[in-house]
Each structure stands twice: as C-alpha cells, then as structure tokens.
Structure 1
Amino acid sequence: MNIDNIEAFVYINHYGSFNKAADVLYISQPTVTARIQSLERELDCKVFDRLGKQISLTDKGRQFLPFAQQILQVYQTGKHQIQSKGLVPNELRIGSTVSVSNYVMPQLLPQLLKEYPHINIKLITAPTDYLIEKLQSKEIDLAFIRKVVNPAIQAFPFCEDPISLYVYKGHPLVQKGSALIQDIVEETLVFFECGSLDWMRLHRVFESMERPPNIVYQVDNLETAKKLVLQKAGICFLPALSVQEEVEAGALIRVDIAETAGISLRTSLISLNGENGGFVQTLLELGAGYLKI
C-alpha cells in the first residue's frame, strides 16, 4: 500500500477538500485525485462520497480512517528517526504563548540547555494560530500552545495550570479560605480576558449567577491583572503559574470557589509528526519534574 495515497486520504478528510489538501502537500489537485483513486483500487471500495464540491467519508472510509492515521504517524516517526539518528541541530527554535514565555520558559530553558549544552535556543512569543503556521512552514521546531487538531502535528499534554480566585493580603475572604461564587458579587473584580476556551468556562459560571459579578477592570495582560490585585484595586481569577512568587511571599492568597474548581489552562507541546522526538521527550520529562501546582 502506497504511503502517499494514505497521506492524501488523511489530509483530504482533515481539510474537507481535495484542493486544500493539494495546497498543503505541495502537489496538484489531479495528483491528489489520482492518489485517492489508487487507494480505492487497493481497498476495493470508495472512501469518499462526492456531491459537487462537497465530500464526505463513506462508511468504509470512516472505518479505515483511524488505521490510516496510525500508519501515517508511525511511518513519519520512523522516517525521522532514520534520518536524524545521532544528529543534534545547532539551533532549536521554540514558539510559545505569552503566559508560557513569562512563567515557564525562564525555568525550563536553562534546564534544557544542561541537556543539550551545544545548541543555541531561539524563543518566539506569539498567539497559538501564528505559532501553528510557523511550525507548518518549518520556521520553528516546537511550540507550546493551547490546543490544536491537525493530522500533520503531534500534540503532547505538557501542563495544566489551575485557575483560581486570588485576593490581596488582608482581604476579608482570606479568613474564610473558601467561598461560593455568589460571595464575590459585591467585590470589585479584575478580569483577565484572553479569549481562550478555558477562560470562557468562567464566563459560563458568571452567567449562572443570579446577579452578575462586578467586573470593573477587564484587561488582556496577566501582569496588569496581577498588579491591580497587589495594589488592592480588586480581586481576580488567575492561573497559578503566574502568581507563584507572590503566593510564596504571602502577598496574594488563593480563595477556593466551589463553582470554578477544575478550571485550568491546558498547555500542549507540539511538533510536526515524527520530528524533534528527542527534544520533545526531554521537554516532557523536564515539565513533569517542576510543573507541580
């Protein structure tokens, strides 16, 4: 069975179009069509139904898809291992979101350099969508992002950063240690808004309240939000990694809210399928060693 045919099948299913799959694979649309026709002859069945420009998997196509994805991933991993065995690049280009750059990289990168003392590390900070584009164009080697679903990209869970309510020293809620969401209705709330699905879960909690919270400050920068709380301008839901130093110093105190328990920022480490496996494994091991909240 031809691996190129399987690759075309997986990509067409993901992008929902022969043309888009051709663009990503840097081949012509007729070549993609020919590969699918060849695959259908090998399988002795149709894998796609075509209605004009619309395509969908047939029942047989849906049955074959998970096996095709597994075959493609194993092939790409094996190919990379053969081609890169014993070779370590001179430069490692890492992309990360702002919060990861601020609160994870300063501890992680020196540890990575101890494992690979002869490489130079280049860090690029950008939003998730931009980093995915840079990874696909091979302008970066790895990236730390929120979430991705793409057949060309491997995603590894890296860490979960719990989101909790933090108040300043001396705030009345400190004595309680825990509270219900309704207890903060009268409080001045600082809200960090980054647009991710994780933060949207907080919005849903707010929508369930009889009275909405008093959001006086809505900011798009974690450091700004944190400093407003330190200046006693309000209280705020913040990820734990961003306030580790302030909590250890006693300047900020976590207050457990029952309705928001379990909400966290999930960060994944991503790479192109089969590439930079050694670096990925090292980073996952380092992350497991110190990201304990």
Structure 2
Amino acid sequence: MRQHKLETLVWLARLKSFRAVAEKLNTTQAAISQRVASVENQLGVVLFERRKRQCKLTAEGREIIPYAERILELTGEMLEQVANADAFRGVIRLGVVDTIVHVWLTTLLEQLQTQHPHVTVELRVDTSTVLREAVQSGSLDMAFLVGPLADADMSARYLCTYEFGWVASPDLGLQGRTVPLEEISRRPIVTFPRSSRPYVLVKEQMKAANLQASRINASGSVTASVNLVVNAGGIGFLPMVSVQEELDHGRLHLVDTDADSVSLQYYAYFPAELPHTLTEAIVDLAKDVSNGKNS
C-alpha cells in the first residue's frame, strides 16, 4: 500500500472532509475519493461513512487508522535517518603513532565526535611497523603512521610532514658550537623504539659516518622522551613539533650538528576495500586537523 494513500486516510480521519483533505494534499476531491475507495477495496472493508458535509470513521476505520499513523511515522523516521548528513555509525579501530597522539589526536577525536557522533573509535598506539602489520592482518581498520607506503590491496593518503632534529638540555653545554655526530654518538641518545623509523634513521646516520652509538634509549612515549631530554638524560632525536614548547621556553635547544636534517611524512593507511565514504570523511578530517584547519 503506497504512502500517499495512507496519508489520505490519516488526513481524512482528522479533517473529516474530502474537500479539506484535497486542499491539504494539493489535489482534487475526486483523487481523494479514488484513493479511499482503492484502500477499502484492497482491505475489503468500509473505512468512512460518507455524509453531505463530512465523513466519519466506521468501526473498521477506527481500527485501521492507528496502523496507518504508525507506518507513516516509521517511514518518516527512516527517511530522516537516510537524509541525515551524519549517516556514519559504528566502531573504527584506529592505530596511531605517538607523534600524532602528542600533537593533534585529541583535536581529531573531538571534531569526530562533533561531526559524526555515532562513530566510536577504539584506539591503539604503537610504532608504524606494528600498526602497518595490524591493518594488513585486519586487527585494525586504519592507522596514521609514517610513510610513504605502497602495499597491494592497501590505500595510503598523505596527511602531514614533521621535521626531526637533535635537541638537548642547556645543562649539557652544547650551545654555541657545531657538535659533530661523533660526539653525539658518545652520549646517550633518546628517540623512538627499535622498530620505528626515527630509530632506524639514527642508526643509518651513524653507519654512514662509520660510527657506533654508545647507547640509544628507545621510548614509545614522546612525553617520556621529551622529559628525559629536558632532564639532561641524553641528546634527543625527536620531532620538532613535539618539542616546540620546550624550545620556546629555553628548556631545550637545537643541537647544531653536521648530520643531515630529516623530515618524515605521515599517512592514513587502510584497506582499499574499506567503505569509501566513512574512510574519506575520517581521512579528510585528519588532514584538516593536522594542518591546523580545525584546531
């Protein structure tokens, strides 16, 4: 039974006039009479008693109208839900490297909650290598990690770039001169875990200079690493965006060294077959937040 016929029945029960219903639904009285007759024939009952100036529900009509009202109400709710700009719902298992956690993840989650309140995020923080494998195995839906990446059946969308550099506490007395990589190699070095790209970069820089780092203190927490370096626990190889406040307040300073500067690119990484619209919404939001457009 079509929706416009149900609407006709409901409005006729309320207005009790074929003329009034015709005006309400912007049609003719003949069309209204035809719709009512069609429903009555389909159900095999008379729903309205026709009188000169108004009509009245029969006993059968009084039974039928509540069902018609409920069907129309449910149909309206369904259409409203489909038309809702936030049609996204469900759980997203998201992996994130600690640099992003430290810089803009909180803002992203706040924006995601505001724009897509029916999407729930289950968060995992780890190195890019571990997160990459988790996405490939299906234990994560998406990850924000260091790239670029080019894996079969996977998609990678660029998000942002962060510069890494050597930083130290003023207490170590390294200001005002160029500190050779050889001297850095003899001091404790603070950076990310062994499986991370920053750790590998430190090892590569040392190897290229025929050096061996005396000790690398690897930590999965940016906050812990920054605190260790601030307290003169070593020279840090860390993202500049994560130590900017310490640099601004003089708790850390850049170490002028003969090593090459390094920047790392961060990507959203997810299976190519992941539902496109929700994925794009999250990636676009992450890109905006990482570039300060929603901060």
Q: TM-score higher than 0.5 here?
A: yes
For residues 251-266 of structure 1, the aligned pairs below 5 Å read 251-261=251-261, 263-266=262-265
Where structure 2 has 5 or more consecutive residues not aligned to the other structure, the ranges are: 1-84
Distance, in Å, in 2 between the alignment partners of 1:270 and 1:173 is 39
Question: Aligned pairs, how many?
Answer: 205
Q: Distance in 2 between the 1:188 and 1:141 partners?
A: 37
For residue 234 of structure 2, what is the amino acid of its counterpart? Answer: G
Counterpart of 1:113 in structure 2 is 113
Say if 1:277 and 1:234 are closer, same or farther in 2 by CA, change over 3 A. closer
Q: Report the counterpart of residue 279 of structure 1 in structure 2.
A: 282
Instruction: Give 1:241 shift.
Output: 3.4
Quick check: 2:157–2:269 contact (8 Å CA) kept in 1?
Answer: yes
Using the size of structure 1 for normalisation, the TM-score is 0.57
1:150 paired to 2:151:
yes
Q: Structure 1: which 4+ aligned runs deviate by more than 6 Å?
A: none
- Return closer, same or farther for 1:107/1:173 CA change in 2, 3 Å cut-off: farther
Unaligned runs of 5+ in 1: 1-84
Q: 1:193: how far off? A: 4.1
Q: Rg bigger for which structure? A: 2
- The residue aligned with 1:220 is 219
Q: Distance in 2 between matches of 1:129 and 1:183?
A: 30
Deviation at 1:139, TM superposition (A): 4.8
Letter in 1 for 2:285: T
Are 1:209 and 2:209 an aligned pair?
yes
Query: Which 10-residue stretch deviates more, 200-209 or 134-143?
Result: 134-143
Question: Shift in Å at residue 164 of structure 1?
Answer: 0.7
| Secondary structure in 2 matching 1:281 | helix
1:191-224, Cα deviation, whole Å (9 max, x unpaired): 54433344323223222436645x3453333444
CA deviation profile, 1:47-67 (whole Å, cap 9, x unmatched): xxxxxxxxxxxxxxxxxxxxx
Measure the CA separation in 1 of the matches of 2:280 and 2:185.
48
Cα distance in 2, alignment partners of residues 124 and 211 from structure 1: 35
CA RMSD of aligned residues (A): 3.3
- Does the CA contact (< 8 Å) of 2:95 and 2:123 recur in 1? yes
Amino acid across the alignment from 1:220: S
- Residue matched to 1:101: 101
Is the CA contact 2:189–2:236 (under 8 Å) kept in the aligned structure 1? Answer: yes
CA contact (8 A) 1:145 1:268 kept: yes
Distance 1:233 1:120 in 2: 39
The percentage of counterpart residues that share the same residue type is 21
TM-score by length of 2: 0.57
